[in-house]
Each structure stands twice: as structure tokens, then as C-alpha cells.
Amino acid sequence: MSVPQTIGLHFHGEDVIPSPPSEALFHVIPVPYEESVSYGTGTKDGPEAILAASAQLELFDGKRIPAEFGIYTAPPVSCKGNCTEVLEQIESAVARCLDLQGIPVVLGGEHTVTSGVIAALRHAYGEFGVIQFDAHADLRDSFEGSRYSHACVMRRIAEQGIPILQLGTRSYSLEEQRYREQQRIPYFDAEDIWKRGIEGIELPVDFPEKIFITFDVDGLDSSIMPATGTPVPGGLSWYQAMWLIEKIMNSRICIGFDVVEFAPISSLHGTAFTAAQLTYNLMGYLVGSPLNRQFWRPAEREERLF
């Protein structure tokens, strides 16, 4: 069982003065949880590595300065106890963010952490959808004797009646494929996205207005992101992922996101930077969306940036 480390880091390092929780739009919540990974290990070290690498990011992301909207980095969630206890700790940490009308930015840890995030969002928002970037469907009913495995997280979410859209998938069992067909879970496998192009990918018209994005880093091609438990070739390119995120943010209200399954490789420090850049770009596309700015920010904050 992983034990949370003392992470004396905040997102973006010394470039950004941490905002008080009550003033920050983005609440970065590290969750160094690793219990059910089934191939490579190291996801418990992911949050700290992403935070450390984020100090090397430029404030200007090429289009805007997301940090202007305020970033607060919470203490790491305690990962002591059994899985149920850890998920309750995650739910409580996210609930504190939501009580302050912030956007949770959860850094995993294995994909199981998303279940705790979803529990808090359900209480706060009721209806919303989940958009999943992932190499895997994560729709197994049980894996290696556990229904709380990282390979089951989206099954547990689907069972709650929460709509799901899967993007970039390309490695899944026959059980999972049959389940998503039976449940009519929409998806665009990575090969579909490569063939159709971004312009050929559309969210279902009846998909909820509010969405949560869960981004398993193995959704990216393994040539870009080898630092994950099960890197799979044939994934999304960097700009495919970015343009999909932009498209989603421009048509839906994002109520939070996570970046999970990053397992740092010490000899490849660039992968931590990639995960940090992904996190910051998610913030950037959110505040760059007129729909999301209107939902999240009062006019005086918007005037400071635009």
C-alpha cells in the first residue's frame, strides 16, 4: 500500500504564487495511490514527478496564461487503508474543492482514483458525463480478483448510469467490447481517429452539457508517453489529443479533470514534463473556451486576461 509522500511542491513552481483555495479556479489534488497496477509499476510516484516537472513550464501556453485564473495545490490525499477508505479520502478532498466552486485537477496514481472523484462530483452536480482518454476500456467487471482494479474503473462508473465517451482506445478484452456494445457506450478507437481526422469526431448530440475528463496518459502513443504501466503503440499523437480537448471544451462545460497512470522513468525526465504540460494545457483549453469562461469566472477576472 502506498503512503503519501510529503510533497512540498506546488503546480508551476516559483513562477506562480499559489492562490488561496477560496480564490483559485484550479485545485490541483495529488493522489499517490497505487494498489492494483497489473504490469509496470510506479504510479504512486506520478503526482510528485508531475509537480516537480511543472516548475519548468512556461506561463504562456502559446495562446493564454491559465495560471492567471489561480492555481492552488492541495496536500496529497492520504492513501492509507483499504481501497474503500482511500476512495473516501479522495471524495472528501474533491468535495472541499467543489465547496469553494473550484475545478478539481486530480493527479494520479492509478486510474482507480477516478472513482473517488466521481463520487464527489455526483453529490455536487448530479448529472454529467465522463470523457475518457485511454488505451484501455477499463470496463472489466473484475480483474485479478478485485472489482476496484484500475481495469474496472469505467465499469463502476457506467453502472451508476453516468454517460461515458471513450477516446483513443485500442487494447481491450472481448468482455469489455461486448459490454460497451450492450450498454451502447460510444467510443472512437485510436485507429478511427487517425482515419477520420479530428473533424470527423463528434460528441453524441445527447451527451450531457457538463463533463469530466479522465485522461489516462497511455491514451497517448507510447512513443510520446512510454512512462506508464502498460504502454500501447498506435495511440493518439500530441496534437490529436490537444485538438480533441479543445473541441470538447468548446462544446461542453468541464467540471474537472484528472491525469492518471503516469509512472515516471528517471532516465526519461521528459515524460514528466509531458504529463505536466498536458495538465497545464487542459487548464488552458478550459479557460480559452468562451462557454467555460462564462460558466466559471466573473467578468472582472476575465478582463485581466482577455
Specify the pLDDT at position 63: 95
Residues 85-111: pLDDT tens digits? 999 999 999 999 999 999 999 999 999
For the chain, which domains are there? Answer: 20-300 (3.40.800.10)
Q: Is 157 exposed, middle or buried (0-12, 13-18, 19+ CB in 10 A)?
A: buried
Backbone dihedral region of 183: left (phi > 0), alpha (psi from -120 to 50 degrees) or beta? Answer: alpha
Higher-confidence residue of 17 and 31: namely 31
Q: What are residue 212's DSSP bridge partners?
A: 130
Percentage of the chain exceeding pLDDT 90: 86
Q: Return d(Cα 274, Cα 228) in angstroms, integer.
A: 12
Rounded mean pLDDT of the chain? 92
Segment 122-144 shows an average pLDDT of 94
Q: The whole model's pTM is what?
A: 0.93
Specify the pLDDT at position 306: 38
Specify the pLDDT at position 305: 41
Residue 202 in this model has a pLDDT that exceeds 50 = yes
Cβ-based neighbours of 101, under 8 Å, separated by 6 or more: none
Specify the pLDDT at position 299: 54
Residue 147's pLDDT band, with cuts at 50, 70 and 90, is confident
Rounded to 5 degrees, φ, ψ at 129 are: -115, 165
Segment 237-244 shows an average pLDDT of 98
**What is the residue type of 157?**
I
Specify the pLDDT at position 37: 67
Residues 36-63: pLDDT tens digits? 666 668 999 999 999 999 999 999 999 9
Q: In 3-state terms, the chain is what percent helix, strand and coil (to 5)?
A: 40, 15, 40
Q: Is 90 exposed, middle or buried (0-12, 13-18, 19+ CB in 10 A)?
A: buried
CA 95 to chain CA centroid, Å, is 17
Residue 144's pLDDT band, with cuts at 50, 70 and 90, is low
